Amino acid sequence: MRIYLDSCCLNRPFDDPRQERIRIESFAIERIMARIHAGDWMLVGSDALVLETLRNPDTARRDAVLEMLEQSREWVPLTESVQSLAGELARLGVAEWDAFHLASASYAQVDVMLTVDDRLYRQARRLLRADRTRVELPAAWLELPGKEIEQ
């Protein structure tokens, strides 16, 4: 199983856990990362993830996310093809970084791209062919209790 986690997913475990949704999503990301660490699944990283992460002024969070990305066994460079697809997605209304993540996941032909961003989730499901780039919410994908949150 080849998995692309967008920046929102990678940052979720460091968000304030007082909201139930954040706790559920954090737990889901932690379970996914445990399976990646165990070698059951493969994390696909990207230049886009690093570039967005480097913009984070919170050094502790930034370093933690970069450390998570070190577990990537496959990497998507920011090629002309990725940039071109990201540009097309941006013209369709997808936010700039989200477009780069969708393009990277699509280019890598991952089994699933995970996001905790509801807007991105809805846009991706509307704009992308599911047989090429499957986009899911982590808790729902893992079938955790509480998965029905704001889908």
pLDDT along the chain (151 residues), means of 10: 97 96 96 97 98 97 97 98 96 96 96 97 83 88 63 37
Domain assignment of residue 47, yes or no = yes
CATH number of the domain enclosing 39: 3.40.50.1010
pLDDT, position 149: 41
CB proximity list for 44: less than 8 A, separation 6 or greater: 2, 3, 4, 72, 73, 74, 75, 76, 104, 105, 108, 110
Name the domain count of the chain.
Answer: 1
Does a structural domain hold residue 17?
yes
What pLDDT does 147 receive?
A: 45
9 is a domain residue: yes
Residue 72 lies in a domain: yes
pLDDT value of position 146: 55
